[in-house]
Amino acid sequence: MIHHRAIDGIELLSCLPKKTAARRPPVLFIHGAFAGAWMWSETFMPFLAAAGFACHALSLRGHGGSAGRQNLDWYSIDDYVEDVAAVIAALDETPVLVGHSMGGFIVQKTLEQRPLPGAALICSVPPQGLLAAQFHLLLRKPQLFAEINRILAGHYTNTATLREALFASDVDEAMLTAWLGKLQAESQRALWDMSMFNLPCLRAMHRPPMLILGAEEDVLVPSFLVDNTAHAYGVPCHIFPGMGHAVTHEKEWPQVAAMLRDWLETL
């Protein structure tokens, strides 16, 4: 069961196990751009709770059910890092952070400020930033690049575009429609921060155990950039074949959740 509460205006969803297994740290999920805590609540959170992990997911300010939507374009990556810090402070134990896409970038920036028991980056923006991914998308799929910029401007796209951007395999139309209804604009300032103005400083970062995962058919964060991230941190990565960016809702999502569970059990 998913429980809802707010911490200083930040929406927090929690899914708790019936009995927490010994020595298993809590997990805090951080969503990507255009999304919210909702993206974890139907798949990864109940899956890991069933394995004995206390799971939490926040909606960054201006996202999901959190306050501040009217000021979205003013928010920086540092503001989002503050939201994560506020939630960590409210939890009984420091969690493992799991970030998807922009959320993975926020995890990296959080590591500049504090040690963590572990950090998982899933289809994450690399420490080198977004520019390579943007140019790659522009060259490979210029129409999709244009449609994503329409979303940035607050205009919703159609399900065909959403499918192309996020999924590689067949997906349920009802789920696509639900995603379309929940997607939102993203802070242009935060996107510029991820492009060039506030990249992670590798020398300043704490280095906990890290898990780096990507998707073979991801058009937003291509697998070669996931390889670059793994190389930057000196750890291996795993690329899931035949999957797109939205690995939390691809039909094979249990494979990704299981690899995350198995890694968490080693911490």
Q: Which of 110-114, 172-176, 222-226 has the lowest mean pLDDT?
A: 172-176
- Percent of the residues in the chain that have a pLDDT greater than 90, as a whole number: 75
* Residue 232 · residue 200 · CB < 8 Å: no
* Residue 55 · residue 45 · CB < 8 Å: yes
Q: Which of 9-13, 16-20, 37-41, 261-265 has the lowest mean pLDDT?
A: 16-20
d(CA 16, CA 68): 27
Residue ranges of domains in the chain, CATH in brackets = 2-130+186-264 (3.40.50.1820)
* Residue 168 · residue 220 · CB < 8 Å: no
Nearest CA among 117, 102, 122, 107 for reference residue 247: 122
Q: pLDDT at residue 152 above 60?
A: no
Q: pLDDT at residue 212 above 60?
A: yes
Evaluate the CA torsion angle 82, 83, 87, 90 in order and state its sign.
Answer: positive
Q: pLDDT at residue 157 above 70?
A: no
Give the pLDDT band (50/70/90) at residue 133.
Answer: confident
The owner of tokens 């058009």 is 219
d(CA 260, CA 148): 29
CA distance readout (Å), 111 to 38, 89, 120, 241 = 24, 15, 12, 29
Nearest 5°: the CA angle 58, 59, 63 is 175
Residue 145 or 121, more confident: 121
Nearest CA among 222, 213, 214 for reference residue 165: 222
pLDDT value at position 233? 98
pLDDT value at position 155? 63
pLDDT value at position 156? 61
Q: What is the CA radius of gyration of the chain?
A: 17
* Residue 25 · residue 93 · CB < 8 Å: yes
Q: What does the block give as tokens for 199?
A: 């990249």
Nearest 5°: the CA angle 231, 236, 242 is 105
Tell me whether residue 172 is exposed, middle or buried, using C-beta atoms within 10 angstroms of its C-beta: 0 to 12, 13 to 18, 19 or more. exposed
Phi (first) and psi of residue 9, to 5 degrees: 85, 0
Q: pLDDT at residue 230 above 60?
A: yes
Nearest CA among 30, 18, 23, 15 for reference residue 88: 30
